[in-house]
């Protein structure tokens, strides 16, 4: 029996479900060899931390080229991405709307299909977007025998592709519901976002017998403060204004790999939102004419 869509949802409960689903979706087995660090692991956000831009948008561009959905669909997704990024809206209504549309473009497609095209899309749209500095940090952890996990709101299938291509341990991502290998267009719980990421990390720490105080976490966004605050070694990578201030106040490490950083972004938020969205639509129109 389906629920009335107007019925209030327990967002905390859905965050817990999303985090647990992300953790359980990972099937990496830990081979405990003598050189492996059994107490620490590193957890990296993806968007603007490991990779320039939003991985879900890079994925959407690749799927659009393959006729998974229309130009109007991707234009709407572009607007939502830029609005979320620059306006920083975090109210429950916005999150609910994002959830209702997130991953809808893969409805009716198979898991195998997304995994296969994901490999191609990584080469086309993502490989050249990897921040060398953050990639080097991840390698530093691997060289010390520590597991390195990606933790992202992107679909777990594409997150696993990114992790595999970078030689990392695995990925925790948003879990899309599928029946008999075909996506339904719904999510398991919420997107892996905010508190859900902390839940997913905590599940991995518990499962692998790690020590939170020995673990590391990296992100660019204040949305990830729950995950960053729970480990003993948080680090802000290319941080937004709120995260930079929080990191400075708490003595966290800060690394910024961007060049030509924009000044006084806060005073121009409205112009940035309008300009970015308009630019995205113009780009998509050019794509349609090709």
Residue 47 annotated in active site: yes
Name the catalytic one among 4, 47, 123, 224. Answer: 47
205 versus 120: the higher-pLDDT residue is 205
Angle of helix 111-121 relative to helix 156-166, nearest 10 degrees, comes to 40
Tell me the average pLDDT across 194-201.
94
Pairwise CA distance, residues 161 & 123, whole Å: 11
Q: Could you confirm whether 180 is annotated as catalytic? A: no
pLDDT at 212: 97
Q: Give pLDDT, residue 165.
A: 93
pLDDT digits (tens, 9 = 90+) for 65-94: 887 776 676 666 555 555 555 544 445 555
pLDDT over 50 (residue 267): no
How confident is the model over 85-104, as a mean pLDDT?
A: 54
The yes-or-no verdict on residue 140 having pLDDT over 70 is: yes
Greater confidence (8 vs 86) lies with 86
More confident residue, 1 or 124: 124
pLDDT at 75: 64
Q: pLDDT-derived band of residue 273, with 50, 70 and 90 as boundaries?
A: very low
Mean pLDDT of 261-266: 40
Which has the minimum average pLDDT: 87-91, 137-141, 271-275? 271-275
Question: Which entry of 33, 37, 45, 240 is annotated as an active-site residue?
Answer: 45
3-state secondary structure the chain: CCCCCCCCCCHHHHHHHHHHHHHHHCCCCCCCCCCCCCCCEEEECCECCCECCCHHHHHHHHHHHCCCCCHHHHHHHHHHHHHHHHHCCCCHHHHHHHHHHCCHHHCCCEHHHHHHHHHHHHHHHHHHHECHHHHHHHHHHHHCCCEEEEEEEEEHHHHHHHHHHHCCCEEEEECEEEECCEEEEEECCCCCCCHHHHHHHHHHHHHHCCCHHHCEEEECCHHHHHHHHHCCEEEEECCCHHHHHHHHHHCCEEECCCCCCCCCCHHHHHHHHHHHHHHHHHHHHHHHHC
Taking the C-alpha atoms of residue 260 and residue 240, their distance in angstroms, rounded to an integer, is: 15
Is the pTM of the predicted complex or chain greater than 0.85? no
CB proximity list for 82: less than 8 A, separation 6 or greater? 272, 273, 276, 277, 280
């Amino acid at each position: 029996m389906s629920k009335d869509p107007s019925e209030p949802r327990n967002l905390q409960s859905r965050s817990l479900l999303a985090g647990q689903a992300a953790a359980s979706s990972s099937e990496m087995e830990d081979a405990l060899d003598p050189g492996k660090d059994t107490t620490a692991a590193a957890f990296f956000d993806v968007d603007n931390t490991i990779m320039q831009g939003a991985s879900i948008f890079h994925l959407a561009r690749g799927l659009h080229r393959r006729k998974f959905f229309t130009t109007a669909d991707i234009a709407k997704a572009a607007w939502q991405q830029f609005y979320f990024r620059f306006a920083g809206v975090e109210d429950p209504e916005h999150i609910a709307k994002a959830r209702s549309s997130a991953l809808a473009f893969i409805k009716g497609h198979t898991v195998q299909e997304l995994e296969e095209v994901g490999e191609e899309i990584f080469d086309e749209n993502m490989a050249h977007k990897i921040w060398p500095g953050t990639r080097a940090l991840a390698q530093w952890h691997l060289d010390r025998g520590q597991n390195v996990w990606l933790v992202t709101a992107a679909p777990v299938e594409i997150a696993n592709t990114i992790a595999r291509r970078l030689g990392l341990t695995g990925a925790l991502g948003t879990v899309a519901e599928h029946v008999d290998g075909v996506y339904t267009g719904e999510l398991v719980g919420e997107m892996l976002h905010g508190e859900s990421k902390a839940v997913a990390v905590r599940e991995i720490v518990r499962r692998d017998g790690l020590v939170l105080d020995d673990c590391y976490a990296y992100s660019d966004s204040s949305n990830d403060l729950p995950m960053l605050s729970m480990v003993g070694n948080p680090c802000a990578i290319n941080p937004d204004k709120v995260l930079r201030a929080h990191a400075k106040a708490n003595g966290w490490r800060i690394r910024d790999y961007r060049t030509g950083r924009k000044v006084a972004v806060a005073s121009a938020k409205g112009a940035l939102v309008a300009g970015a969205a308009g630019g995205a639509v113009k780009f998509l129109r050019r794509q349609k004419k090709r």
